[in-house]
Structure 1
Amino acid sequence: MFSPHGPTLRELAVQALSSVEHGYDLLAPKFDHTPFRTPDSVLEAVEGALEPMGPFDRGLDLCCGTGAGVDVLRTVCREGVTGVDISAGMLAVGREQARAVGQPDVTWVRGDARALPFGPVFDLVVSFGAFGHFLPAELPGLFAQVHSVLRPGGRFAFPVAAPPRPASPWYWALLGFDTAMRVRNALWRPPFVMYYRAFRLGDVRRELVRAGFRVELVALPGFGQRPDGSPRCRMVVATRESGTAGA
């Protein structure tokens, strides 16, 4: 699962026994060589689905990490791109990588997604692979924060994969991972919140609507269909309605 340039088992163990913030600070130099980074195929699919909806003016990559989603925003946004993350280490890597490839127009901001340091200045917010770090009870506040930084008519977009079926090995792998994390958090402090099965589409849609969004689902056809004909991967597009206020 990891390239030779990725973290060692010992490094992963140290990171897993840290807080979310400090764990990602430690992981940051090798993060792009792990399977935790969003695959390019997902980024490209979201970019392709967003292009017909744009162009947008200003974009925000929420929980940006080292900036995998920044290139998506730079393609579909005309004015400015901002990445926000709680980990200073991840931001430092993202900033250095952007500088190395000549992307000085990206603004990197350290901040908590549950208390965003922005006003309603963005037309598009995206996020990739970060929602496992939020407990279900935190979704209303998180979505209210996203709502508060979007201009009326602005969109909040993110991919969601269909959950694996019980017959799939991935189902049991994810169940085992979540169980191990819950045991770890029951026995060790500080907690490391990372639950892959806690972000359920039905709950997400309900909380987005409560926060004042109009929600639609866009199939990402490049990932195929399940046996019942439903898409294996969708993009959630939540639009801030004019005149609505967040929860």
Structure 2
Amino acid sequence: MFSPEGPSLRELAVQALSSVEHGYDLLAPKFDHTPFRTPDDILEAVAAALARLGPFADGLDLCCGTGAGIDVLTRVCRRSVTGVDFSAGMLDVAGRHAHPEGPRVHLVRGDARALPFTPAFDLVVSFGAFGHFLPRELPGLFRQVHSVLRPGGGFAFPVSAPPRPTSAWFWILLGFDTAMRVRNAVWRPPFVMYYRAFRLGSVLDELERAGFGTELHALPEFGRRADGSPRARLVVARRLS
């Protein structure tokens, strides 16, 4: 599951017993060698979809981690790219990965639930971060994103079709979420990381309540399921006013 450069079992155990912020500070140097990093095929598909929807001037990577989404934004934004994350360790790695060519890149330490920006962005993206927010936190998170977008700007993130109960991944993710809930019931501080708490229908409703108009774009690189539905989509939520 991990490459030789990835974290050891002991390091993962220490991270899992830490807070989310401190856990990611510890994991940051080896994060890109774990399955938790967004796969390159998803990043490439999103970059291609955004290129068709652009151009964009200024972009923000929400919960940027080590900067995989920043690389996507530098390909579709002309003027500037900003990454925000609350882990200093992840930002340190992202800074070492930033490319000097292309649009200016700024890294900011901050909490996505209280973004330190004015409406300065045409595009906000996020990759793999929503599992760190409880469902009750999503309305506030979406209002924060709305507040930093210019009117007409877009908030984009990929979503995969949920695995069916006949799939091994269904039971793997269910087991992971169950283990995390047990861990958080008996250990403090909590480590919020749930894979099955993000329900697309509820998320679309919350986005609309936050003042967005939503669009779903199939990512054709991942094909379709037997019922004809896309295996992966890009959600684009546009600020209406």
Question: TM-score higher than 0.5 here?
Answer: yes
What residue number does 1:245 align with?
Answer: none
Distance in 1, Cα, partners of 2:100 & 2:207 = 36
What residue number does 1:7 align with?
Answer: 7
The answer to whether 1:88 aligns with 2:116 is no
What residue number does 2:78 align with?
Answer: 78
What residue number does 2:57 align with?
Answer: 57
AA aligned to 1:145 is Q
AA aligned to 1:238 is A
Distance in 2, Cα, partners of 1:52 & 1:4 = 38
Q: Give per-residue Cα distances to partners, 1:191-244, cap 9 Å, x unaligned.
A: 0000000011001000000000000100001111111110010000000002xx
Q: Is the 8 A contact 2:79 2:104 kept in 1?
A: no
How far did 1:130 drift? Answer: 0.4
Distance in 2, Cα, partners of 1:102 & 1:155 = 25
Distance in 2, Cα, partners of 1:238 & 1:36 = 25
What residue number does 2:173 align with?
Answer: 174
AA aligned to 1:30 is K
What residue number does 1:155 align with?
Answer: 154
AA aligned to 2:46 is V
Structure 1 gaps of 5+ residues are: 243-247
The answer to whether 1:102 aligns with 2:100 is yes
Distance in 1, Cα, partners of 2:169 & 2:52 = 33
How far did 1:102 drift? Answer: 3.1
Distance in 1, Cα, partners of 2:223 & 2:54 = 25
Distance in 1, Cα, partners of 2:151 & 2:69 = 23
Distance in 2, Cα, partners of 1:84 & 1:151 = 18
TM-score (norm 2): 0.98
Structure 2 gaps of 5+ residues are: none
How far did 1:105 drift? Answer: 2.3
Local SS of the residue matching 1:114:
helix
Distance in 1, Cα, partners of 2:46 & 2:97 = 22
Distance in 2, Cα, partners of 1:5 & 1:102 = 26
AA aligned to 2:29 is P
What residue number does 2:210 align with?
Answer: 211
Distance in 2, Cα, partners of 1:183 & 1:146 = 31
Local SS of the residue matching 1:69:
helix
Distance in 2, Cα, partners of 1:184 & 1:218 = 36
Local SS of the residue matching 1:225:
coil
Report how many aligned residue pairs link the two structures: 240
The percent identity for this pair of structures is 78
TM-score (norm 1): 0.96
How far did 1:52 drift? Answer: 1.5
Local SS of the residue matching 1:153:
strand
What residue number does 2:143 align with?
Answer: 144
